[in-house]
Chains A and B, each alone.
Chain A
């Protein structure tokens, strides 16, 4: 069971790297707006714009 001496530190290191990744994402503003992006994804791409079009 001496594998624990290797496995536990690895587990802790993995957890730490997840925390670091989370902190990095939060600092970048990934969690600032949790509402808009999920809706934006559902919208179709923009069609080419024709500003002269007017009825």
Chain B
């Protein structure tokens, strides 16, 4: 065995061999199979690899590996680009290959999004899901090389969009989208081209305002330092007066420029008589500015412009973060609404077919849905038979068979044939539409925490100014000569810099650290919510299990399996794929020839039942019990017992028959992730409650639950997306924090509503958007890392906050009673901030070195 291995390492480069033995060539996920001929984890990855390879673009993989080397090799201080922490290629979802993207050719799309350029070229910007790293940029920007007709392609990683210029005479946009889909990226229309432009303008304006506010506050700070120093060493009156006028001038620029937004907000609040956070802020700013300006003109008294301009700056930054969070929430919703197509084919009463916008579909319209298209409305099928991919709502990777009378749900995918349906509910009335509105409300509720932070900072400033006035008044009566000194000392030491730094700094360090290990956390408040043990609810398919159909166990002669696989060799069905993988694995293990792929003489597919055919004069049938009955195949007692056992174990049995007698059985199922049990046990020992919430059949769910020691009382199977949401909301009523871990669109609402939603790699884009945490590593161990990081971060925040509060409290008291000179205060202020920064970062470095 060893010598065999030695020979091989001679032939192939060692790294290449490692990858070949255990990882998918495209996405580098570990392969379940040990077979070396099987280089891909799924059809999707294989298609993507073939396309890249055939175009001579293999450099993509080199760039990806090189960039990930840069990413992971860098030290902590440069690793703040959370979005790029993981450079791995994601597996290509097979569903992508089935989509036709005809929407992108519809006149409606063209009216809204396509801009005409000279020489017959056109331009459009598409939203692209799945781009995440430098290699993606490289690959997509080479689109003109391998898609004739495309003239220009440019990727924007920040907004996940692709700007395309192409020649519509040569290629259709849907064609380009299918080509991109083969690489694993899903193209969809951006919400609206005009809205995008407006947002871009808004972003730029906001950035400029923040820049002005920052520059103003920094420059006033310089002047203020000189003034404070002058209090100690003495300063010529005319110089003092100059600096005061400079501060006042810059301060007024800051307040009337970037700060004017608060005055406008306050004015609107007064007009509409709705109390608003802008009101106290504006009052504070206004009073400070007027008295400061008056004191400048009078030539004596206190200026407040340094604190005021700093306040404007911090509040603007807070606002920018908040608006970005809200937009992200809205985008998650937009993403879902894009799951339904923009147009539908309506069959008119005279038999003609008309392409109309989905909004125009009415109840009882007859619609035609082509293969590869998405069902546009909820309704009933009235013509045809087809496979429907409902993974969107159920998370189930297997397609279901639909015939006349089957209820169809908007957003699911018609996989195989053209069908006709009668619409019953449209737009927001559909199940998908209702789901969208629930995700929307759940996401928006969560952003309120940021507003709360806004409030705190406003209150803080108002308190400090009030305190300064009180102290000033008190000293006015005690000793007028030291009044100014006291007030200045108080204002300086009360500056909440250390307090303000304590939280964001610790959070930034925590986020950066977890990003390095492939766990992306969207916001700081997530860490806070994760720090206390609560209830962790897991989805089953794809989260606790591997989410891929596999042969768990085979009963019968190998020759029969081999024949069955040969029969299925031309099928792309997930069952056929699982069988092929398993047979190759067996062949390797037992050193027998792998299943032949050609000598099939005749095959017949039985819709929703299985497949039959002849191989070397033997008639073979592979399928379910219904197929066996239909072909009058006898099943002996022994096999029947195996069949029942398989059902009881919660797996799907597949029968193999040869010449009228069933002789083999393959148990198909979804394997539990190897690390699941250990991770759950460890979480339990830390005080977390574990639950399982799945859309799968209750029996299968309870089997998985038993295997993982999850109590039946916290096991819920057969839950629809709506029920999942309901369960999460019910659990939240207990008062303990509820975390949801899931991967599919059907989990999106639950993920958004849970206190913390954790999405797992390989899941649907919508769930990634709705979740607060994304485990790029795809391993459940990541959950433990998140919890540990949040626990540690909260501890650091607590320590920092207590230290700086203690400092502020002592210093303010000392300053009020006059024991603190302004200069000592000016020295203490940066000293406290520096302490907080160095302690936080040092703790992080020490941890790194220890590693």
Contacts and interface: CB of A to CB of B under 8 A. Distances in A.
Interface of A: 1, 4-5, 8, 11-12, 15, 18-19, 22-23, 26-27, 29, 31-36, 39-40, 42-43, 46, 49, 51, 53-55
Contacts of A36: 137, 155-158
28 contacts: A1-B239, A4-B242, A8-B246, A15-B215, A18-B215, A19-B215, A22-B211, A22-B215, A23-B208, A26-B204, A26-B207, A26-B208, A31-B207, A32-B156, A32-B200, A33-B159, A35-B84, A35-B157, A36-B137, A36-B157, A36-B158, A39-B134, A39-B157, A42-B67, A49-B144, A51-B145, A54-B54, A55-B56
Interface string B176-212: 0000000000000000000000001001100110011
B242 A29 contact: no
A46 B59 CA distance: 11
B83 interface: yes
**Most A C-beta atoms less than 10 A away, residue of B54, B56, B145, B204:** B204
Nearest to B84: A35
Q: Which 4 A-B pairs give the minimum distances between C-beta atoms? A: A35-B157, A39-B134, A36-B157, A33-B158
Contact of B250 (A1, A12, A46): A12
Contacts of B81: 35
B157 A33 contact: yes
A8 B243 contact: yes
Interface string B238-280: 0100110010011000000000000000000000000000000
A50 to B, nearest CB: 9
Given A34-B158, A39-B67, A43-B137, 5 more contacts: A8-B242, A29-B200, A39-B134, A49-B145, A54-B54
B: contact size bracket: 35 or more
A37 to B, nearest CB: 9
Given A8-B242, A54-B54, A32 B138 contact: no
B814 interface: no
A43 B59 CA distance: 11
Given A54-B54, A55-B54, A32 B204 contact: yes
Contacts of A5: 242
B625 interface: no
Nearest to B160: A35
A26 to B, nearest CB: 5
Interface string B428-448: 000000000000000000000
B370 to A, nearest CB: 30
Chain B interface main SS type: helix
Given A31-B204, A33-B156, A39-B134, A19 B148 contact: no
Nearest to B141: A40
A42 B144 CA distance: 20
A22 B211 CA distance: 8
B208 A22 contact: yes
B652 interface: no
Contacts of B158: 32-36
B200 A23 contact: no
Contacts of B211: 19, 22-23, 26
A28 B135 CA distance: 27
A4 B203 CA distance: 38
A15 B159 CA distance: 31
A53 B204 contact: no
B826 to A, nearest CB: 20
B382 interface: no
A42 B63 CA distance: 9
A55 B222 CA distance: 66
A43 B138 contact: yes
Residue with the greatest number of chain B CB neighbours at <10 A, chosen from A12, A36, A53: A36
A43 B64 CA distance: 11
B219 interface: yes
Interface in B55-80: 55-56, 63, 67, 70
A12 B254 CA distance: 14
B134 A4 contact: no
A15 B247 CA distance: 13
B236 interface: yes
B247 to A, nearest CB: 11
Contacts of B54: 54-55
Contacts of B133: 39
Nearest to B142: A46
A1 B243 CA distance: 13
B321 to A, nearest CB: 15
A15 B249 CA distance: 13
A19 B212 CA distance: 6
A26 B543 CA distance: 43
